[in-house]
Amino acid sequence: MSSNNLYNHLERLSELLRTDLRKSGIGHGLQPVQLEVLHYLSVCNRYSDTPLAVTEYLGQTKGTVSQTIKVLEQKGLLLRRTDTEDKRVSHLGLTAKGSKLLDRLVPPPMLTNACDNLSKKARIQINNALQQLVMAMLKSNGMKSFGVCHSCRYNGRSADGEYYCNLVQQRLSVDDVQRICREHEAAA
């Protein structure tokens, strides 16, 4: 009953956003999912830029994601390089072209317009609510949170005060800790 009400809004929101994304992308031959992948790659960190991470993030199968990535690569919107330590894994990154296109198309106009019509306070409230809902959905279904390193329990400081990840045991730059990570676990 309570989740039913929520569902009403969420479903519509989701469908409207998708349609708008589709309209944005179509002029450039891009599908909604493709824009989502590009967007993910623009906000993830260097441990999370692999096909598998995209798979976990989107909740699709690896086969599906593999195809999407292939197309984006062929379009020259992203580049892949094989990991130096584990030759099974690829790292993906936007090309300048991909990055530029993403900036123009995302967020789609409908959302941008909506935000222009909302007060700053309202935007913050909505943002918090959405975040809370995403968290709840992920947590209650045993999925990865993909939070930023900054809020991760593995995030610490090295002896000289630099950011340090206790999981992968490496230093993180200021840029790193603001990106989302597939290994993220909320601090206790």
Partner DNA sequence: AATTGTTAGTATCGACTCGATACTATTATC
Partner DNA sequence: GATAATAGTATCGAGTCGATACTAACAATT
Which parts of this chain interact with DNA (CB under 7 A)? 19, 22, 26, 29, 31-34, 50-52, 59-64, 66-71, 85-90
Structure tokens at 83: 């990991």
3-class DSSP state of 94: strand
166 contributes a contact to its own copies by CB under 8 A: no
3-class DSSP state of 171: strand
125 contributes a contact to its own copies by CB under 8 A: yes
Cα separation, 161 vs 156, whole angstroms: 9
Residue closer to DNA, measured from CB, 50 or 155? 50
| Neighbouring-strand partners of residue 156 | 164
The CB-of-123 to its own copies minimum distance in angstroms stands at 5
Structure tokens at 155: 């995030």
Task: Tell me which of 63, 104, 121, 140 binds its own copies, using CB under 8 A.
Answer: 140
Q: Is 161 exposed, middle or buried (0-12, 13-18, 19+ CB in 10 A)?
A: exposed
7 contributes a contact to its own copies by CB under 8 A: yes
- Interacting residue ranges for its own copies, rule: CB under 8 A: 2-20, 36, 39, 43, 57-60, 106-107, 109-118, 120, 122-123, 125-134, 136-141, 143, 146
